Structure 1
């Protein structure tokens, strides 16, 4: 297995992986509304391949709350036959290692029990809203540089 920038992966292979991991109705999820019309951030989006088959991927997107730039992490997708083998952890580490001090704080919708080990937490997101349904405890922020962010606002695509 090896990792590669996701920009080198075909859209068909990526869509097949996402359908397998999340179902074909995945476009109805709130996270899709957050990144609608955005292009993935190349230096933070990766795939894991085995014999040219895409087994897992991570994508990051430019979003904003108020006037503050953020990076939306996700989806973190792992093929159903490869789950629970550490590929999600590998992708998260790969993405975090590629992040630079100039990158905006990161936000995601995910399980705090899993993503907390990567520095994501819900403590500063309680005043934010999303353009669809979400569980407040699952709106997570990683703000290593302690960038000043709005305490209230709608999270959405960075125009």
Structure 2
């Protein structure tokens, strides 16, 4: 049986080891890491999946913002990484973590959700789209079709041009 726990209950070294296994040790150079640089994950929206006492998956969410050219700043919550231990991938752990986080976001998120991810998967199962993100920019390379957003608690993502970065 899988137990979903606050990520803060898990030893940070175990989380880092899982992320290394899922994404490789070169993951720190990715654009997503630049966006959330220098920030801590949001405890109310970051969770771990534990099965038989072993960490099998994590999801982290981060406080970021959309900054328009006129100085307007709109808070967003960046979702990810969603990581599952390679030997148990495709077992529903990532989907369970996403669903759990989305339920928590309905009361804890202070802005729309955004992520860099597979639009077919995250769109089909969780309602993320690239509809609002076409004019957004990131501090590094990215595939525009993979820049996704989703409203939460009635808070929709900004649709105009702007840079996404930490807040």
- TM category, shorter: over 0.9
Counterparts of 1:89 and 1:51, CA distance in 2? 19
Q: Distance in 1 between matches of 2:116 and 2:80?
A: 8
| Structure 2 alignment gaps of length 5 or more | 68-72
Structure 1: how far apart are the matches of 2:88 and 2:101?
19
TM-score (norm 1): 0.95
Structure 1, residues 39-61: CA drift from partner, whole Å, max 9, x if none?
11111100011232110000000
Match of 2:70?
none
Match of 1:82 among 64, 67, 88: 88
Distance 2:108 2:45 in 1: 13
Q: Secondary structure at the match of 2:106?
A: coil
Matches within 5 A, 1:26-105: 26-66=27-67, 67-101=73-107, 103=109, 104-105=111-112
State whether residues 45 and 58 of structure 1, in contact with CA within 8 Å, keep that contact through their aligned partners in structure 2.
yes
Give the counterpart of 2:115 among 108, 129, 140: 108
Deviations, residues 10-67 of structure 1 (Å, cap 9, x unaligned): 1100000000000000001100001001111111100011232110000000000110
Deviations 1:45-93 (A, max 9, x none): 0001123211000000000011000000000000000101111100000
TM-score by length of 2: 0.91
Number of residue pairs the alignment of both structures matches: 158
Matching residue of 1:19: 20
CA distance in structure 1 between the aligned counterparts of 2:76 and 2:58, rounded to whole angstroms: 20
Distance 2:156 2:59 in 1: 24
2:140 to 123, 129, 132: 132
Moved over 6 A (4+): none
- Contact 2:57 2:93 (C-alpha < 8 Å) held by counterparts: yes
Kindly state the Cα deviation for residue 147 of structure 1 after the two structures are TM-superposed.
3.4
State how far apart, in whole Å, the 1-side matches of 2:116 and 2:46 are. Answer: 17
